[in-house]
Amino acid sequence: MYPPIRLLDHIIKGRGTTPTRWIRCIITRFRTKFLNAAAATESCTAVNKNSHSSSSLIVDEFTRFCYQRDLPRAIHALHSMQKYKLWADSITYSELIQCCLARRAIHHGRLVHKHLFSYGHRPKTFLMNILLNMYVKFKLLEEAQALFDQMPDRNVVSWTTMIAAYTNATMLRDKAFQFLILMLRDGITPNMFTYSSVLRACNGLPSLRQLHSSIMKTGLDSDVFVRSALIDIYSKLGELHDALRIFNEMVTGDLVVWNSIIGAFAQNTDGDEALNLFRRMKRAGFLADQATLTSTLRACTGLALLELGRQVHVHVLKFHRDLILDNALLDMYCKCGSLKDANSAFTRMGEKDVISWSTMIIGLAQNGFSREALQLFESMKASGTKPNYITVLGVLFACSHAGLVEDGQFYFQSMRKCFGIDPGREHYGCMVDLLGRAGKLDEAVNLIHEMECEPDAVTWRTLLGACRVHRNTDLAIYSAKQILNLESKDAGTYVILSNIYANSQRWEDVAQVRRVMRDQGVRKEPGCSWIEVNKQIHAFILGDMSHPQIEAINMELNQLIRRLKELGYVPDTDFVLQDLEGEQKEDSLSHHSEKLAIVFGMMSLSREKTIRIRKNLRICGDCHLFAKLLAKMEHRNIVIRDPVRYHHFSSGVCSCGDYW
DNA sequence: TTAGGGTTAG
């Protein structure tokens, strides 16, 4: 027998002493934890031998059922106690309430609450806190608040429970701060529990810095919970330097703090740093858990590192099924453009939630399988999973990227009625895209004017993109001006505007745009493409000659272009964003970063391997044509991921059907 | 004896 149990048995059997009910409960609880329910029952029976009154028997029986976690019997016994106006001790009730929580039995929880307050009886603060926590965990904040208002004595736990409750309710985060102030006015000192909760409620740097300095004064910033909350909130507010500084100041880690900092970089699209930290963590001797792997997968997803992602997948298999991790794995395969792996991961999932379905729908749509995405959406509805804001966005995205105008309009018009989702700015954006791509520019403009919320720069950029495709100069200039009113330093828009003027030979306007760009210090982000070869990431930037094999790559590229021209390839110079002429125009196109990356991939990877490229800007028409023809001529599979979607090139065609 | 931090889809 576990040694402390012997000692407890010694106490229980008593040598003449009768343990108080409180001690007996502790013993029963101890036995439940370390032995089993039968042993707990045995110790209750041992206690009962000393009890003679029937009321004591009823209470003891209730106690036993509570510790055995036999909810129906415990509730049944509770009714008897209620009839005889009997009460058990606080710890027994706390066991019962925890049991109600675990079984999601709110009805029984409310019954216990009623019992505790019947006949003018008032439970201790400790027990009221347990009840408070129960309502919070059931997300019944109004009931929690009502109970809190009734409490004659509120201690630091009562206040912290409410603060944590409001922090978790995103819409009510301001209340968490108000409660901290009220708590201080009430003379209650916050502790590490309070701070680790309230930190997440900070919505801006000033409030965070102020709170951080109060925490520093108490010295509680050394607490690991407070520290990881600090790292997390600084990174969520985009202050990664502060997050990393707090992390580095730490003397010893624990796993969650590592997870905080890895998650911070993975979410802030700095996957490289996240992966570096992951390696550092492993060197420091920590074993990754589900949260670590989820963040690591997200970093792979952001960087489109399929091979590394597959390695993480091997680690994932060592763990029990975890829905969040499974979803991250699914997204990784979708975003790395490997739909085959994504499909098998999706099929193998034990449990699927709205995120799993949405990830797969969006993944299919982005990879050019719009019809399949819509079919999956129908299966999702049939499975009983309710679509949300993002699911519908994925569905509309699928329609707009395949020119399915009627389907898109149907889903858009029925989303409120069928799924109870109000169309947001992003849904309108998808519709503007859908109509714009299909050449229905007037309808797209009308829709923008009908929007229930203000259009933003993204909405206008969508329209501008459609204007470029359908060569509507006037509307393009109008859209560009709308964008620049909202975002005066948007480099891409200036470049497009100057290009539109150049195509219309309006050289004075071109000069004017260039002048504004110079005066405002606007610089266009250079095109950059990445490719993973032998676990190394190779970056190609337009105009950058630093890659060690750049000369060989350029020679190979020029040769390929010559051979493609013999087969009828004509560079599409419409995409040149400068007012250059003839040969020069063609030359600036021929060194777009994705072309360099593709050629490098061809030189480095065996023919059966897919060449996978990720790039920071959208692919231009000329590179698209180049990739299609090259895929055919060289019998290669090429996948290019741009910031919006994927292009799978094979046998001279692209999965996007030249519609993007 | 009760309360706290990190992980997934646009």
Q: What pLDDT, in 10s, does the model give residues A627-637?
A: 999 999 999 99
Burial degree of A98 (CB within 10 A; 0-12, 13-18, 19+): middle
Residue A32 (CA) to nucleotide B8 (C1'), in angstroms, measures 36
Assess whether pLDDT exceeds 80 at residue A158. Answer: yes
Residue A6 (CA) to nucleotide B3 (C1'), in angstroms, measures 33
Residue A223 (CA) to nucleotide B6 (C1'), in angstroms, measures 15
Residue A298 (CA) to nucleotide B6 (C1'), in angstroms, measures 14
Assess whether pLDDT exceeds 80 at residue A129. Answer: yes
Average pLDDT value for residue range A377-394 = 95
Closest nucleotide to A158 by C1' from CA: B3
DSSP label at A526? P
Pairing of strands A638-641, A611-615: parallel
**Which two three-digit tokens encode residue A651?**
């046998």
Assess whether pLDDT exceeds 50 at residue A459. Answer: yes
pLDDT of the residue at A510: 86
Of A139-143, A211-215, A578-582, minimum mean pLDDT range: A578-582
Closest nucleotide to A257 by C1' from CA: B6
pLDDT of the residue at A14: 46
DSSP, residue by residue, A318-339? TSPP-HHHHHHHHHHHHHTT-H
When pLDDT is cut at 50, 70 and 90, the band that residue A48 belongs to is very low
Strand B nucleotides within a 7 Å radius of protein CB atoms = 1-10
For the domain spanning A430-520, the CATH number is: 1.25.40.10
The answer to whether the beta carbons of residues A590 and A615 sit under 8 Å apart is no
Q: What do you get for the CA distance between the two ends of chain A, in Å?
A: 71
Assess whether pLDDT exceeds 60 at residue A41. Answer: no
pLDDT of the residue at A247: 93
How far is residue A361's CA from residue A376's CA, in Å, rounded to a whole number? 7
Burial A222-248 (b: 16+ CB within 10 A, else e): ebbbbbbbbbbbbbbbebbebbbebbe
Residue A366 (CA) to nucleotide B9 (C1'), in angstroms, measures 13
> In Å, what is the CA distance from A336 to each residue of A194, A396, A644, A648?
41, 22, 13, 11
The answer to whether the beta carbons of residues A361 and A336 sit under 8 Å apart is no
CA gyration radius for chain A? 32
Q: What pLDDT, in 10s, does the model give residues A310-327?
A: 999 999 999 888 999 999
DSSP, residue by residue, A496-517? HHHHHHHHTT-HHHHHHHHHHH
pLDDT of the residue at A506: 86
Residue A500 (CA) to nucleotide B4 (C1'), in angstroms, measures 56
A572: which residues sit within 8 A by CB, 6+ positions away? A589, A620, A621, A622, A625
A216: which residues sit within 8 A by CB, 6+ positions away? none
**Which two three-digit tokens encode residue A404?**
């399915």
Which residues sit opposite A638 in a β-bridge? A611, A649
Query: Shortest CA distance to A117 belongs to which of A82, A166, A148?
Result: A82
Helix (H, G, I), strand (E, B) or coil at A560: helix
Average pLDDT value for residue range A240-248 = 93
How far is residue A22's CA from residue A185's CA, in Å, rounded to a whole number? 34
How far is residue A458's CA from residue A454's CA, in Å, rounded to a whole number? 11
The answer to whether the beta carbons of residues A231 and A223 sit under 8 Å apart is no
CATH 1.25.40.10 occupies which residues in chain A?
Answer: 430-520
Kindly report the backbone phi and psi dihedral angles of residue A537, in degrees, each rounded to the nearest multiple of 5, phi listed first. Answer: -95, 130
Q: For the packed helices A255-267 and A271-283, what is the interaxial angle rounded to 10 degrees?
A: 160
Query: Shortest CA distance to A315 belongs to which of A332, A336, A290?
Result: A290
When pLDDT is cut at 50, 70 and 90, the band that residue A73 belongs to is very high
Assess whether pLDDT exceeds 50 at residue A344. Answer: yes
Which protein residue's Cα is closest to nucleotide B4 at C1'?
Answer: A193
Assess whether pLDDT exceeds 80 at residue A429. Answer: yes
Residue written as token pair 């337009």:
A542
Pairing of strands A611-615, A646-650: unpaired
How far is residue A58's CA from residue A88's CA, in Å, rounded to a whole number? 9
Assess whether pLDDT exceeds 60 at residue A302. Answer: yes
Which protein residue's Cα is closest to nucleotide B5 at C1'?
Answer: A225
Which protein residue's Cα is closest to nucleotide B7 at C1'?
Answer: A291
Closest nucleotide to A220 by C1' from CA: B4
Average pLDDT value for residue range A281-287 = 91
Assess whether pLDDT exceeds 80 at residue A16. Answer: no
Q: What pLDDT, in 10s, does the model give residues A257-274?
A: 999 999 999 988 789 999
pLDDT of the residue at A20: 52
Average pLDDT value for residue range A428-441 = 94
Assess whether pLDDT exceeds 50 at residue A424. Answer: yes
Q: Which uninterrupted H or E stretch holds A426?
A: helix A425-437
Q: What pLDDT, in 10s, does the model give residues A636-648?
A: 999 999 888 889 9
Average pLDDT value for residue range A569-595 = 69
> In Å, what is the CA distance from A90 to each residue of A31, A46, A94, A146?
18, 21, 6, 21
pLDDT of the residue at A94: 96
Computed over every residue of chain A, the mean pLDDT equals 88
Q: What pLDDT, in 10s, does the model give residues A364-374?
A: 999 999 999 99
Q: What pLDDT, in 10s, does the model give residues A394-407?
A: 999 999 999 999 99
Higher per-residue confidence, A544 vs A64: A64
